[in-house]
Structure 1
Amino acid sequence: MRPISLPRRRTVLSAAAAATAGAALARPAAAFAAPAYDLPADRTAAREIRDEFVHSWEGYKQAAWGYDEVRPVSGTHNDFFAGGHSFGLSIVEALDTLWLMELDDDVRLGADWIEAHLDPAADADVQVFEAVIRLVGGLLAGHLCTGRQALLDRCRELADRLLPAFTRSPTGMPYRYVNLRTGAVSGTTSPLAEIGSNILEFGLLSQLTGDQKYWDAAKRAMRAVVQRRSGIDLLGTSLHIETGRWKDTTSCAPNPPVDSFYEYLWAGAELFGDGELRDWYRLLTDAVARRQLEQRGGYAWYRQVDYASGKTVGRQASELGSFYAGLLGKGGDLAAARDYYGTWTMILGNNAVVPEAIDYGSASVVSGRNDLRPEYVNSSFDLWRLTGEASFKETAYRYFQGLRDNLRVPGGYTVADEVSPVRRGDLTPGYWFAENPKYLYLMFAAAPRFDYRSGLLSTEGKLLRGAVRG
């Protein structure tokens, strides 16, 4: 659930886009009552999903091994964090997925590469949020799954080099960027997701190392945000991390770039038993439900409002916000979870693959891309675990079929530059290896290495609790 660069909320659609975009929302709800195919046996579905993951993984290995990301159409690579610097991002992202799927030769291959080549002291300015949820989280999950101490050592070294972003901030809210070699910090305006999506990884690192400084830094950052809520208990979008003043006072939850802030309040309370985080989650979630939830066209939506007055300022929905259905269910509001999941299931039913962002007020597409986002199927997984209901498997499998039918290429899986009609791009984001196939596989595989009762995954799909080692 990472922040992305979308058209701004007030962007006016082109005439051509407006003319074709209504299809995303146009069909009646009855059209989505049931999938138009037979759901295969769990074992068959699990094998299909595993085979597709292996297909994409082999594409990465053959064309971009050791680089951050693969461009599977051209057979080239992409540096994610900084041009000219590679952290083997896709390897780190894939490690616990490979382990859960019992692809142990590749687990060893990936872990060996990380131990030999990942440089936590690279002379590069990295985005702190992405480095925490992807690299720190991936190294932690890899250590928990494999038991390899060197992965934890490398993780701790990286976290130490990220800490100046927190410790040099007068408010405790982290700067957006830090140079891993010099410790120089930059980026004084940051959205909520980037300020507050650290406590799972840093808290777990504190537990594993016995050093409280990581937990303290992450908790202080979250507290600094909550203390700046409005009189009606809403949060804005972004803050100046040195002055502590709001730069954007729009409450846009559950959409980016605030999404995972709310997720980490719940998950931090769950993983660490922290009552203060739980209280913050309930306080802020209740305010969002009171002020932003609305029904339009028979579906549940979350409008954007001014954080102080509650006045409506927009009606957009991002695919990244579809994770919220699962979070609401885990947080105890299963009725609201079902409603919002139904909204995104409707959107999926109207499209070969889910578009990146829509304006539900005008039934138009704001961004017709598909970036292989995992949030919808993340909710499928969460709600299936909570309820055991087959309907969530059915809709998840429909999602899987859409990807396989439209975004599979000889070199793996790729993003779409446009979903209607589908026009493929040329990139496999690193998070693909961490998330989409993992959620799908765990739903169908009865994976022996995953504890389905206690397992907890981060916002980047990293297995932080529930690894079952033989």
Structure 2
Amino acid sequence: MIFGLACLMFTHKSTPHSVSQGQAEGIKVNKEVEGISDSGGRFQRFWRKPPRLPPQLPPDEKGSIGNLPHELQKLNTGSKWVDRQQRVQKAFIHAWSGYKMYAMGYDELMPLSQRGVDGLGGLGATVVDALDTALIMGADEVVSEAGLWIETHLSDRINKKGQVNLFETTIRVLGGLLSAYHLSGGEQGTNLTHKGPKPTVYLETARNLADRLLLAFTSSPTSIPFSDVVLHDPSAHRAPDGLSSTAEVSTVQLEFNYLSTVSGDPRYSIEAMKVLEHIKDLPKVEGLVPIYISPDSGEFSGENIRLGSRGDSYYEYLIKVWLQQGRNRDSNFTYLYDMYEEAMKGVRHLLVQKSIPNGLVFVGELPYGPKGSFSPKMDHLVCFLPGTLALGATKGLTKEKAMKENLLKFEDLENLKLAEDLAKTCFEMYSVTSTGLAPEIAYFHTEVQAQELPLPAKLLGWHCPCILPL
């Protein structure tokens, strides 16, 4: 998300400590290191203070909870969650205030230089992307400010701006407008506010944008859309290398389907769903797909398989689009669930491994396809997968309701267990660092990898020169 919420900082009394081998082993952070000499002292450049322990509750909170009766413990815990909720809202308002002061109307705020930049086509992406969050939080002042900007400026920008990326513009701007439409009461949606413009403003603006984005689909010689659209022409064209990202072309269907539903115009859904219908018939590796696809041939390009960048949301949207089309679950859209189910089997068989010695479950990559070597690299983006696995296992219901209705197959239980294990790994990626920020990319120690390392790396437990020890 462009509009990132500030992280909550839970303060606790800091005391010197050492971190156990079990906590720190198993994850390594990928980071470029400059100016490293070949002398023996090079290794010292990597050492830093030990990783921090996970955030702790203050001593008064820890002691008081354990001594309370069960009902009071529940009440006390509930009040703490309310407090944390308020902190999140405060962080959101703080971030919005900085954006409004220094970059209102720009796509993004550069916080250090305190200026705005248009890296996503100049459609005020942060304004639109933040609006549904403000609606859910009940941040009425932000809703009013963002809604007024959209009503006053966005349509004019859509008519005049240049090149935008189909995927980024769909998930941030089109999706943001449609969420605002629904959350402000459009089409019998959930009306969370009386602030901002009428819901029809959001819908009309969304249609103006979507009509131009449709050119990415209709200009392509196949069912695979081009990657970019020029808004003011309007026209569409390929990326410089001629390829489209698999994740990008398959991560617009929720938005286009919903727009067809609320507008009554089937064109948006028809064009977007052609992509998934086309991919259904392409050859795959146990349900897994390469991260690039050609809009000219309609075929996958290369063999790189991963659930990180350019691959991630293909798998996410398979299950979400199937759930969205739930009323037709027994007819035309069962292929989506079949594709999702096959892909998750492929993930468990080909991509899931455990690190040593700590046994952290992670999802690696096949950069050269199934016949090439396995890479123990996991993008932080893969942390979408635990939620997706849980959603697919319970079919969009709570776990309790899915169990009550006897919907959980053995494979669903396997996926729920994998979701828990991966969520723990994602947590450790944060807790093991001194800043509490997870790395963008992590490499995990594996048995095969350890056998191939040179002696100094084996002794130290990390690679050189591009890996920092954790």
- Could you state the TM-score of these two structures normalised by the residue count of structure 1? 0.69
- Asked if structure 2 preserves the Cα contact closer than 8 Å seen for 1:98 and 1:104, the reply is yes
How far residue 233 of structure 1 moved from its aligned partner, in angstroms, is: 3.0
Q: Residue 175 of structure 2 aligns with which residue?
A: 137
Output aligned runs, 1:135-174, within 5 Å.
135-147=173-185, 148-174=199-225
Partner SS for 1:126: strand
Q: Residue 56 of structure 2 aligns with which residue?
A: 36
- Asked if structure 2 preserves the Cα contact closer than 8 Å seen for 1:236 and 1:307, the reply is no
Distance in structure 2 (CA, Å) of the matches to 1:284 and 1:113:
42
RMSD: 3.1
Q: 2:317 aligns with which of 255, 264, 272?
A: 264
Q: 1:122 aligns with which of 138, 143, 160?
A: 160
- Asked if structure 1 preserves the Cα contact closer than 8 Å seen for 2:286 and 2:342, the reply is no
- Asked if structure 1 preserves the Cα contact closer than 8 Å seen for 2:380 and 2:441, the reply is yes
How far residue 36 of structure 1 moved from its aligned partner, in angstroms, is: 2.5
Q: Give CA-to-partner distance per residue, 1:301-323, whole Å, 9 cap, x none.
A: 22212675353342211111111
Q: 2:441 aligns with which of 344, 357, 377?
A: 357
Q: Give CA-to-partner distance per residue, 1:137-162, whole Å, 9 cap, x none.
A: 00001111113101001001100100
How far residue 206 of structure 1 moved from its aligned partner, in angstroms, is: 0.8
Distance in structure 1 (CA, Å) of the matches to 2:375 and 2:390:
25
Output aligned runs, 1:6-155, within 5 Å.
16=36, 35-38=55-58, 41-82=80-121, 86-118=122-154, 119-147=157-185, 148-155=199-206
Q: Residue 335 of structure 2 aligns with which residue?
A: 276
Partner SS for 2:370: coil
As a proportion of its length, which structure holds more strand? 1
- Asked if structure 1 preserves the Cα contact closer than 8 Å seen for 2:105 and 2:123, the reply is yes
Q: Give CA-to-partner distance per residue, 1:260-316, whole Å, 9 cap, x none.
A: 111111111112214222221111121122111111220112221267535334221
Identical-residue share of aligned pairs (%): 27
**Aligned residue type for 2:443:** D
Q: Give CA-to-partner distance per residue, 1:250-269, whole Å, 9 cap, x none.
A: 1112x111111111111111
Partner SS for 1:250: coil
- Asked if structure 1 preserves the Cα contact closer than 8 Å seen for 2:287 and 2:342, the reply is yes
Task: Using the TM superposition, name which of 224-233 and 331-340 deviates more.
Answer: 224-233
Distance in structure 1 (CA, Å) of the matches to 2:424 and 2:465:
20
Over 3 Å counting, the alpha-carbon distance change for 1:42 and 1:20 in structure 2 is: farther
Distance in structure 1 (CA, Å) of the matches to 2:378 and 2:465:
9
**Aligned residue type for 2:312:** D
How far residue 245 of structure 1 moved from its aligned partner, in angstroms, is: 3.2
How far residue 232 of structure 1 moved from its aligned partner, in angstroms, is: 3.5
Q: Residue 422 of structure 2 aligns with which residue?
A: 340
Distance in structure 1 (CA, Å) of the matches to 2:148 and 2:382:
36
Over 3 Å counting, the alpha-carbon distance change for 1:185 and 1:232 in structure 2 is: same
Q: Residue 319 of structure 1 aligns with which residue?
A: 380
**Aligned residue type for 2:389:** L
Distance in structure 1 (CA, Å) of the matches to 2:288 and 2:180:
36
Q: How many residues are treated as equivalent by the alignment?
A: 355
Distance in structure 1 (CA, Å) of the matches to 2:282 and 2:343:
12
How far residue 72 of structure 1 moved from its aligned partner, in angstroms, is: 2.1
Over 3 Å counting, the alpha-carbon distance change for 1:203 and 1:168 in structure 2 is: same
Q: Residue 389 of structure 2 aligns with which residue?
A: 328
Q: Residue 16 of structure 2 aligns with which residue?
A: none
**Aligned residue type for 2:111:** P
- Could you state the TM-score of these two structures normalised by the residue count of structure 2? 0.69
Distance in structure 1 (CA, Å) of the matches to 2:48 and 2:310:
26
- Asked if structure 2 preserves the Cα contact closer than 8 Å seen for 1:322 and 1:344, the reply is yes
Distance in structure 2 (CA, Å) of the matches to 1:235 and 1:278:
16
How far residue 63 of structure 1 moved from its aligned partner, in angstroms, is: 0.9
Q: Give CA-to-partner distance per residue, 1:411-436, whole Å, 9 cap, x none.
A: xxxxxxxx999xxxxxxxxxxxxxxx
Output aligned runs, 1:215-294, within 5 Å.
215-230=269-284, 232-253=286-307, 255-273=308-326, 274-294=333-353
**Aligned residue type for 2:160:** A
Partner SS for 1:335: helix
Q: Residue 365 of structure 2 aligns with which residue?
A: 304
Distance in structure 2 (CA, Å) of the matches to 1:175 and 1:69:
25
- Asked if structure 2 preserves the Cα contact closer than 8 Å seen for 1:67 and 1:77, the reply is yes
Distance in structure 1 (CA, Å) of the matches to 2:235 and 2:43:
45
**Aligned residue type for 2:309:** P
Output aligned runs, 1:373-384, within 5 Å.
none
**Aligned residue type for 2:178:** L
- Asked if structure 2 preserves the Cα contact closer than 8 Å seen for 1:347 and 1:354, the reply is yes
Partner SS for 1:359: strand
Over 3 Å counting, the alpha-carbon distance change for 1:316 and 1:420 in structure 2 is: closer
Q: Give CA-to-partner distance per residue, 1:90-143, whole Å, 9 cap, x none.
A: 110111111111111321221121011012222401001000000000000111
- Asked if structure 2 preserves the Cα contact closer than 8 Å seen for 1:355 and 1:367, the reply is no
Relative contact order, higher structure (CA 8 A, sep 6+)? 1
Structure 2: runs of 5+ lacking an equivalent:
3-29, 37-41, 62-76, 186-198, 327-332, 394-414, 450-461
